[in-house]
Structure 1
Amino acid sequence: MRIVSFNANGIRSAASKGFFDWFAAQGIDCLCVQETKAQTEQLDDAVFRPQGYQRFFNNAEQKGYSGVAIYARQQPDQVIDRLGWTPFDREGRYIEARFGNLSVVSLYLPSGSSAEERQQFKFEVLAYLTPIFSEWLKNGREYVLCGDWNIVHTAKDIKNWKSNQKTSGCLPEERAWLDLLFHQHGWVDSYRHLNPSGEDYTWWSQRGQARAKNVGWRIDYQVVSPTLRPKLRASSIHAEPKFSDHAPHVVDYER
């Protein structure tokens, strides 16, 4: 089973750069998209309806902002797009497709880089999600949490570690939250499990020549339930061709 996570930074923009042509050639079972930046009625063109896939969207109330989606070969048993907290839900940051005992989630955590107010909202989101993630580990289901988490975890996940210690996405409090999930709760970072010494990135600033110089951050993850750890087979990050300021993250699972 092949699952892909991709922050499109505008699904229409990514489509214009050939993303769906690439998608069609990858043998993908489930695609999780973040930052669609579109309303569903704006995505009626055939390019957004690849043959053989069901598609599901959770759009932000604010047009042209945020939004997540799932494309799936198999019809889900259930699709959920609300967690129950209005400030989070209205921004279109979560959608979950359930296939039997497996849940595939497309998740887009906030960035705090634009203003202190947004950083505080980001901390509120992390606190809100903590007990939810804990409950998911106990409910008997298996989860693949795909998405742009907007947090690096370790020095291997960012080119300029020391100079970003006070930058949103690399703050000690944010990284401590990932420590809690991975080291105490038992969630598994699929990339790091499969690439213990890997230093690949999934996002590059659009300023200067960050991408050309590979001055990047790994902030896009597929985080999985502990029971899925033995089923992880391969992980790859596709920096080229360029469809967005993020790169698609592909993970193969044993069926």
Structure 2
Amino acid sequence: MATTTIFSWNVNGIRASYKKGFNSWLEEISPDIMCIQETKAQEEQLSPEILKIKGYRSYFTSPQKKGYSGVAIYSKFEPISVEFSLGVEEFDNEGRMITLEFNDFYLSNVYFPNGKSSKERLKYKLDFYNSFLEYITKINFKKPVIFCGDVNTAHREIDLARPKQNEDKSGFLPVEREWIDKIIEEGYIDTFRLFNSEPGNYTWWDLKTRARDRNVGWRIDYFFVNSQLKDNIKNAYIMPEVNGSDHCPIGLDVQGLIK
């Protein structure tokens, strides 16, 4: 039974990532599907080398605001359909989601909002959370859902280096963490925790304080899989050795979904 490898990475600017060797890394590692968040570029700003990588079909969505947000997927497999909309204009304007439909599942790549800058942005983040849950609940009636990306929230104390110092900050607020609880209650699995229950596993580190050197980080990037697909999950992992962004890539190996 074939195994499909899916990676997810907030690259913090796809043009900057390209200059740091993203294409070479992707060609060497060669996942079946590569999901990217925070591209910070419109398609017309991207070079042919970024838009088309050998062996991959590519899908991009961009925000109205230049240099901000944006997600992309490179896939070796052609999907049945591609969706770029949550159906809510204020969210779709920020280019935060792409969903690929395959024969046996949906894959959503999402860059969830950051709520740190203001009360208004925190409300926007929570509203986005709820709209996305409504969206995947709807499509899951058709076939199971895998979603990945930068969720911008650490779920439990084990998921960040300094929980007590951050309990009143967006990214670790009770109301944000409760949404992840709700996702799990709705039948989604935090795949990394199926294979690793240890502390010290993070996906984001503050660049200004050189936190990565000391591994003072947060696990805010996830693969969630509907429990219908639990038996298909063969591995889930974090790749902190891969540089090029303030985030590192994460990976998921699933078996028997794409034939």
Q: TM-score range by the shorter chain?
A: over 0.9
**Taking structure 1 as the reference length, what is the TM-score of the superposition?**
0.95
Give the AA of the match of 1:248. P
* Residue from 125, 129, 132 that aligns with 2:135: 132
- Any runs of at least 4 consecutive aligned residues in structure 1 with deviations exceeding 3 A, and if so which? none
Q: Determine the structure 1 residue equivalent to 2:211.
A: 210
Percent identity over paired residues:
38
* Range with greater deviation from structure 2 (73-82 or 17-26): 17-26
Deviation at 1:47, TM superposition (A): 4.5
Alignment of 1:103 onto 2:112: no
Pairs aligned (count): 253
Alignment of 1:220 onto 2:221: yes
Give the AA of the match of 1:159. A
Contact preservation (8 Å) 1:205, 1:216: yes
The gaps in structure 1 that reach 5 residues or longer are: none
Cα deviation code 1:45-67 (max 9, x no counterpart): 32442111000011101111100
Deviation at 1:197, TM superposition (A): 3.0
Cα deviation code 1:62-101 (max 9, x no counterpart): 1111001110001111111011100000000011111112
CA distance in 2, matches of 1:28, 1:41: 26
Q: Determine the structure 2 residue equivalent to 1:19.
A: 22
Contact preservation (8 Å) 1:194, 1:235: yes
The gaps in structure 2 that reach 5 residues or longer are: none
Contact preservation (8 Å) 1:194, 1:233: no
RMSD of aligned residue pairs (Cα, Å): 1.3
Deviation at 1:198, TM superposition (A): 4.9
Deviation at 1:111, TM superposition (A): 0.2
Deviation at 1:155, TM superposition (A): 1.0
Contact preservation (8 Å) 1:194, 1:232: no
Cα deviation code 1:86-141 (max 9, x no counterpart): 0000000011111112211110110011222111111221222233233334x131
Give the AA of the match of 1:206. L
CA distance in 1, matches of 2:139, 2:154: 23
Cα deviation code 1:184-226 (max 9, x no counterpart): 2110111111213353100011121211000000000111111
CA distance in 1, matches of 2:182, 2:51: 37
CA distance in 2, matches of 1:47, 1:133: 29
Give the AA of the match of 2:236. S
CA distance in 1, matches of 2:138, 2:41: 31
